[in-house]
Structure 1
Amino acid sequence: MTISSTPNQPPKQTVILEGDDLRLRIEHNAPLPVLRPDEVLVRTMAVALNPCDYKMHERFPSPGAIDGCDFSGIILAIGSAVPSLRVSFEIGDRVFGAVHGSNPIRHESGSFAEYIASEAQFTLKIPDSMSFEEAAALGGTGLATLGMALFRTLELPGTPEEPAQNPQTVLVHGGSSSVGTIAMQLLRLVGHVPITTCSPRNWALAKEYGAEEVFDYHEPECAQKIKAYTRNTLRYVLDPFTDAKSIALCCGAMGRAGGRYACLEMHPEYLLEKRTLKVGFVMGPALLGHRLELDYGYEREADLEMRQFGVRWYRSIQWLLDHGRLRPHPLRVLPGRFDAILQGIEMLKSKSVSGEKLVVVIGNLATIAVASIIWRRLSIQPPVSKDALAHIPEVRFDENDTPERYTQDSRSLLFKCYDKYLRHGIPVQMRNPIGELGPQVLLPMKYLDEVKYASTHLFSFPLFSEKVFLLNYSDAPQQTDAAAHVVRVQLTKNLGMLANGMYQEAVEGLQANLPDSKGCSPCRIYLFQPSLTSVEWNTVPAYSLLANVTARVTALALVGPELCRNREWIDISLQTTFAIFNAAFTIRAKYSPGWRWLARWQSDAPRKMRAMRARAVELLTPCDKPLARIADEQLFLTVASMHTTSSSLTSVLYDLLIRPEYCAEITQEVQDALAECGGNWTLQQVAKMKKLDSFMKESQRVHPIGFITAQRATVRSHTFKDGLHLPAGVIFQFPADAVHHDPEIYPDPNRFDGYRFLRLRETVDPNRFHFASVSDTMLGFGAGSHACPGRFFTALAIKLILVVLLTQYEVKLADSKDGCRPPDTFHDFNMGPSQEAQIMLRKKFDG
């Protein structure tokens, strides 16, 4: 029996099969596959091309067999046994996977066809953020093959769910190939360190996908360089090519003790003679556990144990997909449907493809449109019901309990939640002003240890962001592991080398963004205007000035000196965050959840976002990295850092200007540090400004950017150690602001004490309590392994900009209102310094 909602399937289909002359050809009258009970029938939307697509039919001729492995499409029918297989599919689901093309046992099995029968347990759901083309390019063939290679042949420890605690270095030969980029992603995700070889023109690509180090496989000394890099201890090799050159290189790089060698092509017999090597040949179709009726060593008997491993592996892959942890190789879409497949196969045979995955769209536009409607309508996750959270007490406003009040007065309710429940270890729920998301939960600090080191497969900040800001509907740049890695490791490691440049950009940025003698508008001047020499006071909006300078200093670190002085790049950096907020507001107001898929085509907000991203690509040209991806990474880093850093800087400046007793002492400390280093800043010199650091941290405590921390959405239901249960889809967070105002933690918490943290460093621990540090009582930058990766850069940027302001300018509030700080702004759980308040500046002169 078959479950189906599409009874009008055609009797015939177009396919590519092997003819009697043993050549591939297009056949327009092939029958549809016969659906077995454990399979789903898929209407093909796109296919990806692999070298095996020509190697299989050439090595193992089987006239009449349909060719092709990787596919993506829409489920049209479901076999009767599928519901019992612990997989959940519905008609209209978008899926991808791989089948055994050129199969001599089952001719109808290939993917180069309009309709495909795919085993349900080896079929994957496409995540919302991924297109049919991208899903096909990600490829079930590579994922299946690599599962066997990494965990069965190399026997690497760790899984995506529980990464290895003892990372191993793994050589991936040919890392710029599609299988190489997937392999390096998987190795990172299970806790290991990939190194790779490829042509120098693809080094940036390999680095982007996770390579720790890249070597030129054209160099005669390549193997020796790898051996030296790994200190003659390399134990694991993945070789997708397994030809004479690759074997010589990989064996030459292997450590003295030998190790494991996974081949993705049949290896020569002499490789087995190396006693220190354990060699294994891996074939993708073997993961299904079926008998493979092939020749020349490619044949396999049925293997139930392998099939069981394959089912587990596909569940892990689906887990990674659901949480955005995998991305495809850069792809190239060939127009022309089935003719394009034949063309692409010839391109692969002639080795004229490098650094790209060839993809061909099979489904027509009308089919894709209908599929999109089905998919979007069926994929809307309902909010968590109140009944599901009935075990958690709820706190509301006593009067005027409207969504608007939650956006303007949430701080008072958070303190009420903390005093009544959270400080006593009791979780609490409160209304979410975005009603469609259901209630939100506040957790007491006793749960922080379980959350702060948890996998994003369990508690996800990206999922939280997507729910709140509708990122999948606005075409906004999203968080990637590569971007976080760049900041957490590479940027932080190089802060010392960046300090001087950041200081100079702060000097020149302030000059450039102040009005010239003709009274031109501040913060809209092109860069490198003549230095300000007037003794007159200049009045400017504080936030606008500091945001422009922060954007310039940040861009120096992220995109280099040329673009950091480009007015258009600065404008994109400043506008991206507001564009995301505006897009979410517009889409949520105009479209109900079931119809938001239309926003990409109808709403101006996603169009503006795409235009900004496209312009970012143009500004980043030339670049040896895939431009769309690097542009998205840069825009995401901008969103994550620009306005939070600008707001923190503005807030600190406001606090300094209304407290002259601190301002004088800190200015003297800054001048002393500047005189000592002579303008050549090192991190050691910056660290000597302890009073400034303490003042910044107290400003962050009293005037935080956000009232809560560690925002997450539950990916799946979870029960904490003490029995607290949260269902899937719940948004939760921790009460950072309330903790920072707890008198048992911070005595006299409502008083601003600029040297509070300096005293703690002097009396408790000199290495704690600095501005960028995090702990269970210092939550301004989050907590645990998911704390803000750019917090050290933020601290350095704020300090260096303040150094310039305090040593080169006289600064005062334009309207201090009896010495009071300009009023903060509030929205939901966020607070920010006034963006309207103005400051007055004039240049200091010696004598």
Structure 2
Amino acid sequence: MGNIFVLVAGSATVAFIIYRLAFRTFSGVSAAFGHLAPIPTIGYNNLLLSYIDAVRFFGRGKDVLAEGYAKHKGGFYKVALWDRWLVVVSGPMAEEMRRLPDDTMSFTDFVNDYFAQKFIFGSDLIDNPYHLHLIPSKLTKNLGSLFDDVREEVLVAFKELVPEKDDEWVVFPAMDAMRTVVCRTSNIIFVGQPLCRDIGWQNLNMRLAMGNQVASDRSLLIPRPLKPLLAPLLLNVDITAREASVYLQPLVEERQRQYEQHGIDYPDKPNDFLTWMMDGAEGPPRSLDDMARRILHLNFGAIHTSTLIMTHVIYNLATNPELWLQPLREEVERVAMTKMHKIDSFIKESSRVNALSGISLLRMTLKDYTFSDGTFIPKGTSLAAPTTATHEDSVIYEDPLTFKPWRFSDMREGSESAKHQFVNTSPEFLTFGHGKHACPGRFFAANELKMILAHIVMYYDVQLENESHIRPPNSYLAVNCIADPKANVCLRKRRECG
């Protein structure tokens, strides 16, 4: 399928470029010599040569965004992507953009257009994302009652992943292991036990999560008018949804029987996402296929992001365990999880230094707009704020390129303790976005990640393979920062635990 896609997409894209060049427009936007001409360009300010910059961006996106930030901090600049111009906004102008109403600057339209999710997952799911609305209304409000279930799943997952071998180190691929733990702890919330522990179910969702990220990245190579034709070839969600339905069908049928016999508040009713979706059904019952697609969609969001964050965290921890393990252990032994400021700071600092995406505050203009500094942005323009460049700004963060695990816990010693928590967003910390469109699942993700890290430091000694102190390097693809997917970490039963 991958080779077929490359062949079809390549041929179609060449034809498209020839067509666009003939009419001297760039993906429906008036290009560098049109309405966006006054905005500085990083790279060639030329339609034909901009495609060279678009290719360059895939390999050096981090550097391109940093160059623009250094030259135009507090204002605007634009970079050429394969299918559009991306206008990058920072400082007060980014805050002005963030505060604009959705009918002027739309987060949803940017995400659906840029990542082609409507064509990959289907318009029914994207146009009616009721499952996402359940995250703040149900998931976040139930975090306290779900705490013990998640903690138990972390414990069981690690027992299976890291068999006890007395005083021996267990070597395993960090990213694969973190993905499995995150999948299990997420699905205890999504579908409950015993399905969250089913290897087939785990593999199905992990495969979909990885496949959808690859599909989203490849979709950037498709010219926008061709996305409806080519994007569905990137990931066959129909087949995966049918497979997921086989697993979910017994659960759904049993819960429907309970509804019919006892009503909505039946005895021993599961407290999970599948139940919340079934409770919220209006009119005809939600179809099995529809619920399967939504659970898969939730799994993509939960597994991909948290796996990468946790992989970065364990690489940082294993690089200098002699410095950082003991302070974390002392905190976990001393206070409740809500008071674990060092654990929280370690994860937040890791995500600052290793921001998963180089852009945030994603918006698409639904109407022409002129900013307060006079910058005109036409309808249909894609805009974003620079995450990594902001996180590496020495005016905002002292010694910003250095990983300082207690950076944020030290800040919490002052009067603004809550401001520096991992879940709290700001114009200076953009891992989860900021404002009304900040990631709604960040409260669950933060608790999940803190629980995993606390478990690791309490029960295991940690090091890199061959006792290395050189952190596995990140790689970059367009705006994505990717932890080394092949590096190994070593865990050994903590000696102090006996």
Fold shared per TM-score above 0.5: yes
Name which of 824, 830, 833 aligns with 2:474: 824
Contact 2:475 2:484 in 1 (8 A): yes
Asked whether 1:537 is paired with 2:188, we answer no
Q: 1:646 aligns to what? A: 307
Task: Report if aligned partners of 2:115, 2:220 keep a CA contact under 8 Å in 1.
Answer: no
SS in 1 for 2:306: helix
Equivalent residues in 2 for 1:662-701 (5 A)? 662-673=324-335, 685-701=336-352
1:792-823 alpha-carbon deviations (Å, 9 max, x no partner): 11111111111221122222111454x11100
| 1:577 counterpart = 2:209 | yes
Aligned to 1:746: 397
- Shift in alpha-carbon separation, 1:693–1:431, aligned structure 2, 3 A: same
Looking at structure 2, the residues matched to 777 and 486 of structure 1 have their Cα atoms a distance apart, in angstroms, of 28
Answering whether residue 161 of structure 2 is matched by residue 490 of structure 1, we say no
Secondary structure at the residue paired with 1:758?
helix
Whole-angstrom distance in 1 between the partners of 2:101 and 2:220 = 29
Q: Tell me by how many angstroms 1:592 deviates.
A: 6.5
SS at match of 1:494: helix
Change (3 A) 1:402 1:391: closer
Q: Does 1:729 align with 2:375?
A: no
Cα distance in 2, alignment partners of residues 479 and 797 from structure 1: 29
> Where does residue 426 of structure 1 map in the other structure?
75
The correspondence for 2:152, drawn from 489, 500, 504, is: 504
What corresponds to 1:444 in structure 2?
A: 90
| Whole-angstrom CA distance in 1 between matches of 2:417 and 2:220 | 48
1:462 aligns with 108
Which amino acid is 1:474 matched to? I
Deviations 1:423-472 (A, max 9, x none): xx32111111xx22x21100122123333343433322332233233233
> Which residue does the alignment assign to 1:655?
316
Q: What's the CA shift for 1:838?
A: 0.3
Deviation string, structure 1 residues 529-550 (Cα, Å, up to 9, x no partner): xx63554322110000011000
Q: Which moved more, 1:400-409 or 1:626-635?
A: 400-409
Matching residue of 1:556 = 188
Unpaired segments ≥5 residues, structure 2: 1-25, 257-277, 279-285
Change (3 A) 1:832 1:671: farther
The structure richer in helix per residue is 2
In structure 1, distance between residues paired with 2:161 and 2:39: 51
**1:580 shift after superposition:** 2.5
Q: Whole-Å Cα distance in 2 between the matches of residues 512 and 457 of structure 1?
A: 49
Q: Determine whether 1:841 maps to 2:491.
A: yes
Closer/same/farther in 2, CA of residues 731 and 604 from structure 1, 3 Å limit: closer
Q: Please point out which of 741, 756, 765 is paired with 2:416.
A: 765
Q: Is the contact between residue 410 and residue 829 of structure 1 (CA under 8 Å) also seen in structure 2?
A: yes
| Contact residue 457 and residue 715 of structure 1 kept, 8 A | yes
The match for 1:392 among 39, 53, 57 is: 39
Structure 1 Cα separation of the partners of residues 225 and 304 of structure 2: 32
SS of 1:543's equivalent in the other structure is helix
The amino acid that maps onto 1:842 is R
Distance in 1 separating the partners of 2:480 and 2:98: 21
Contact kept in structure 1, 2:53 and 2:80, CA below 8 Å: no
Residue-by-residue CA offset, 1:176-208 (whole Å, 9 max, x unaligned): xxxxxxxxxxxxxxxxxxxxxxxxxxxxxxxxx
RMSD: 2.7
Distance 1:537 1:439, change over 3 A: same
Structure 2 Cα separation of the partners of residues 634 and 696 of structure 1: 26
Question: Match of 1:416, SS?
Answer: helix
Structure-1 residue corresponding to 2:63: 412
Match for residue 777 of structure 1 among 428, 445, 464: 428
Tell me how far apart the structure 1 counterparts of residues 315 and 168 of structure 2 sit (CA, whole Å). 21
Q: CA deviation at 1:512?
A: 2.2
Which is greater in Rg? 1
Letter aligned with residue 578 of structure 1: M
Distance in 2 of aligned mates of 1:415 and 1:442: 11
Cα distance in 2 between the residues matched to 1:382 and 1:491: 40
**CA distances 1:554-605 after superposition (whole Å, capped 9, x unpaired):** 111122122211222212221223322444566777x7665655558xx754
Contact 1:469 1:581 in 2 (8 A): no
In structure 2, C-alpha distance between the alignment counterparts of 1:738 and 1:664, rounded to whole Å: 32
Q: Which SS does the other structure have where 2:425 is aligned?
A: coil
Structure 1 range deviating more: 443-452 or 640-649: 443-452
The offset of 1:826, in angstroms, is 0.8
Amino acid at match of 2:93: Y
Per residue, is there more strand in 1 or in 2? Answer: 1
Q: Partner of 2:238 in structure 1?
A: 610
- Shift in Å at residue 757 of structure 1? 1.1
Deviation at 1:384, TM superposition (A): 4.5
| Correspondence list, 1:49-64, <5 A | none
* Matching residue of 1:796: 447
Q: Contact 1:552–1:564 at 8 Å: present in 2 too? A: yes
Residue deviations 1:457-502 (CA, integer Å, cap 9, x gap): 3322332233233233334554754222211221111111111111
Separation in 2 of the partners of 1:401 and 1:407? 10
Q: 1:595 to 1:664 in 2, by over 3 A?
A: closer
Deviation digits for residues 350-371 of structure 1 (CA, Å, limit 9, x no counterpart)? xxxxxxxxxxxxxxxxxxxxxx
Name stretches of at least 5 consecutive residues in structure 1 with no aligned partner: 1-379, 515-530, 674-684
Contact 1:479 1:636 in 2 (8 A): no
Counterpart CA distance in 2 for 1:706 and 1:596 is 22
Residues 405 and 512 of structure 1: CA distance in aligned 2, closer, same or farther (over 3 Å):
same
Match of 1:630 in 2: 291
Quick one: which amino acid aligns to residue 661 of structure 1?
A: L
- Counterpart CA distance in 2 for 1:384 and 1:567 is 50
Q: Is the Cα contact below 8 Å between 2:40 and 2:76 reproduced in 1?
A: yes
Contact 2:35 2:376 in 1 (8 A): no
- Residue in 2 that maps onto 1:171: none
Cα distance change, pair 733–401 in 1 and its aligned pair in 2 (3 A): same
Taking every aligned residue pair, what percent have the same amino acid on both sides? 27
CA contact (8 A) 1:480 1:633 kept: no
Aligned equivalents of 2:129, 2:93: Cα separation in 1: 25
Letter in 2 for 1:508: V
Residues 558 and 480 from structure 1, CA distance in 2 versus in 1: closer, same or farther, beyond 3 angstroms? farther
From the superposition, tell whether residues 806 and 587 of structure 1 become closer, same or farther in structure 2 (CA, over 3 Å).
closer
Counterpart of 1:662, as a letter, is: W
Q: 2 CA distance for matches of 1:794 and 1:801?
A: 11
Deviation at 1:670, TM superposition (A): 1.6
The 5 Å alignment of 1:65-144 reads none
Q: Distance in 2 between matches of 1:559 and 1:824?
A: 33
Post-superposition offset of 1:830: 1.2
Q: Distance in 2 between matches of 1:838 and 1:534?
A: 20
Would you say the 8 A contact 2:174–2:489 is kept in 1?
Answer: yes
Task: Report the AA paired with residue 497 of structure 1.
Answer: S
1:768 is displaced (CA, Å) by 1.2
- Counterparts of 1:764 and 1:427 in 2: how far apart (Å)? 34
Partner Cα separation in structure 1 for residue 144 and residue 204 of structure 2: 27
**Distance (whole Å) between structure 2 residues aligned to residue 505 and residue 765 of structure 1:** 33
Residue number in structure 2 paired with 1:619: 247
Q: Secondary structure at the match of 2:35?
A: helix
Give the 3 Å change call, closer, same or farther, for CA 457–572 of structure 1 in structure 2: farther
Flag the 1:597–1:792 CA change in 2: closer, same or farther, 3 A: closer
